[in-house]
Amino acid sequence: MRSQHEPQVFSAVIKNSIMQGDILCETSNNYLITKTSLMPDLSWDNLRIPEISIYGMTIIGFPHLRKETYDNWISINNQPSFLTPLMTNLQINLVSKEELKKLEKRTDYLWSTIYTLTRPGFSQDFSQALIQITGYCAAIPCSYGNLLYLEGTGEQWQVKSSYGLYNQ
């Protein structure tokens, strides 16, 4: 059943976060960010906060995130995975880690945004998903990471909330 929903979640994330022509690493990112300057512990309990104010910023968590979704996300991302068979959106350029290193040095790709995704974690009834996206540009030391909470109804998945991990 997972194989039915995973391409739909990737498609929703790409539509929400990635522009046509951007680059996505074809291997999943198994490095889950667990510490940030805003929230030192990205445990399930801390992600479920409805809202918190830190240094004048309002941070909205994922109050409906189920423990099973979080646990599935952690367990599925223990090892990197090959994403190509799971992708149905051809508007994104999937490249290997080796190709990424070459592209970073080419001036015509200097301002391209390069993304990595984790595999999504799902609830048992496949009504919610949790996924991490990171992006960076080779030209500037700017990068970001977000956790995305998605809800699914039938064949449709929609990003409902985003939790900023870092932005530099």
pLDDT digits (tens, 9 = 90+) for 3-46: 889 999 998 998 888 777 788 999 998 877 654 444 446 778 87
For residue 122, give the H/E element and its range.
strand 121-122
Closest CA to 161 of 28, 77, 64, 73: 64
pLDDT digits (tens, 9 = 90+) for 49-90: 777 776 666 667 788 999 999 999 999 998 899 998 888 766
pLDDT of 97 higher than 70: yes
Q: What is the DSSP letter of 108?
A: G
Closest CA to 103 of 29, 28, 22, 168: 22
Closest CA to 147 of 4, 68, 34: 34
pLDDT at position 159, please? 93
Range of the domain at 142: 2-167
Cα-to-chain-centroid distance, residue 37: 19
Specify the number of domains making up the chain.
1
Q: 168 falls in which pLDDT band (50, 70, 90)?
A: low
pLDDT at position 92, please? 79
Distance CA 46, CA 138 (A): 32
